[in-house]
Chains A and B, each alone.
Chain A
């Protein structure tokens, strides 16, 4: 018996959030006295699979099927269900993500499992099985009991620290039986930003708002982000008027981020924007309006003109490194 972890990859690279899910499963397995098996889909090099061991897995089931390189929801759900049965798991752990959520929901039905998403902490099993999850878009938490024998937990970023000192995991090729129905959704093309730090997974995020005055000034945001190894984000008005693409929109109806550091520049801090960033560990706000509501949610603030402060800040960060 083992805890199963569903691993996501992009272009053959295992996602960091999935590795965090492995570390979460490790901590859980150590409490329960069980093992951790991870299941990974598609073409992935062994050097990447080694990271899964380092993050805490004992074993990796590698479904080395090219058709699963793309995130086809039904096909992934079928493959994970087969791995779950093979290892006689009672618990499935995965990272909350665009694909993870969609796959987990189908698996909840397939496996008769109680599913809790946005999990922020390890379960409390002292009486029953209780998990803490984030609700109301980060504005509250709910202590949630799962009543079924089988359980699925979709873990929020930063729920546990990523482990990197695990042992080498045994890799086993795992064949799954998939039907054409599993591939009824056909992916025709993908349009992905490459080479950048992905916003939902970034440890540091630098976001700009309307205070940046126009898309031509975004190089100031990008320079700071680059010096920090950060992803760039933006407020909803900025994506609505087309200065930046929608996948950079941080907020209630956009991407919810949970970085260790969130730097907001020229963003007033509407409650809908705060809903997307309230899981950040530290928030820095730079705004020329000292009354901007965002300062109330910030740890550090600078009242000043972004066009003066940003180049200086980028230089100061570079000087540090």
Chain B
């Protein structure tokens, strides 16, 4: 089985989000970048599936040269090779077009990625790639097994889950608890240095959306503390002041 895992290069979940250049650029100052947490789950499951049934595991990232340490980490976790599409990921359509092109060229049986990136939270790329390639796209997938030619999955729905089956090839947007994140070991880190990381160029410049400006939410006022022996006061405030009861 040939597996492709698409990863994003995003600020660590504990990062303070700030903007520069008159609120038009993300402020990278002091921010550590990681593999998108959802993508990391997809990658971990892909490593397990490859261990079970053999085949190959390729990771793909659409990003400029700065994303290479993140890609190397994915190689250290267990991918065999990597593709970096050398372009800033302008919007979901732009990224989906690149992935669809290189996925088709590579003839993958299974294409995994996170349910969404944690920077723009769009959750669109898997569905777009599915539609471009005429393949089923399933998301958010919290359990995935491959039996022969069939993918057996659980998809999270509001308040529960839905079990489904679909034939390869297909695309899945993944989330926990599909697997546990894998921490690269020393051997993985050493071998990742020599694994192929192929840099390719963008095949299309098409976009449909653009960010004009960023904004931070208004600062929160101070908390109003209520004595633990006077909980009736809290109920009164919720009813009369916040008007939510």
Contacts and interface: CB of A to CB of B under 8 A. Distances in A.
Contacts of A74: 130, 136-137
Most A-side CB within 10 Å, residue of B138, B166, B228: B228
A311 to B, nearest CB: 10
A117 B163 contact: no
Contacts of B217: 138-141, 278
A197 to B, nearest CB: 9
Nearest to A245: B160
Interface of A: 10, 15, 70-71, 73-74, 77, 97-99, 101-106, 108-110, 113-118, 130, 132, 134-148, 181, 184-193, 196, 198-201, 204, 228, 246-247, 252-254, 260-261, 271-272, 275, 278, 281-282, 284-285, 295-305, 308-309, 312-313, 316-317, 319-320
Interface of A is mostly: mixed
Interface of B is mostly: mixed
B19 A140 contact: yes
Interface in B171-218: 173, 175-177, 207-217
A109 B131 contact: yes
Interface string B205-245: 00111111111110011011111100110110111001011
Given A98-B157, A141-B214, A73 B137 contact: yes
B122 A117 contact: yes
The 3 closest A-B pairs by CB, nearest first: A105-B127, A304-B228, A114-B208
Interface of B: 11, 13-14, 17, 19, 37-38, 92-93, 96, 116, 118-128, 130-132, 134, 136-140, 142, 155-167, 170, 173, 175-177, 207-217, 220-221, 223-228, 231-232, 234-235, 237-239, 242, 244-245
Contacts of A117: 121-124
A272 B217 CA distance: 17
Given A73-B137, A204-B244, A187 B223 contact: no
A272 B120 contact: no
Listed residue (B116, B121, B220) with the most chain A CB atoms within 10 angstroms of its CB: B121
A252 B118 contact: yes
B14 A190 contact: no
A10 B158 contact: yes
B228 A301 contact: no
29 contacts: A15-B158, A71-B157, A73-B136, A101-B124, A102-B138, A102-B173, A108-B208, A109-B128, A115-B124, A130-B212, A135-B120, A136-B11, A136-B118, A143-B215, A145-B210, A145-B211, A188-B163, A190-B157, A191-B160, A192-B160, A271-B14, A272-B14, A284-B234, A285-B223, A300-B234, A302-B226, A313-B231, A316-B235, A317-B235
A264 B239 CA distance: 18
A63 to B, nearest CB: 20
Nearest to B212: A143
A303 B63 CA distance: 46
B213 A142 contact: yes
Given A136-B11, A282-B238, A317-B245, 7 more contacts: A98-B139, A192-B161, A247-B159, A261-B242, A278-B217, A285-B223, A319-B235
Contacts of A188: 163-165
Contact of A116 (B126, B209, B237): B209
A247 B166 CA distance: 23
Nearest to B150: A186
B228 A302 contact: yes
B167 A187 contact: no
Contacts of A97: 158
Nearest to A197: B159
B96 to A, nearest CB: 8
A117 B35 CA distance: 22
B128 A108 contact: yes
Contacts of B207: 147
A261 B211 CA distance: 31
Contact of B208 (A148, A297, A303): A148
Given A144-B212, A199-B159, A299 B13 contact: no
Contacts of B156: 98, 246-247
A134 B245 CA distance: 26
Given A117-B124, A299-B223, A300-B237, A142 B163 contact: no
B125 A105 contact: yes
A275 B69 CA distance: 26
A24 to B, nearest CB: 18
Given A146-B209, A192-B157, A282-B242, A105 B137 contact: yes
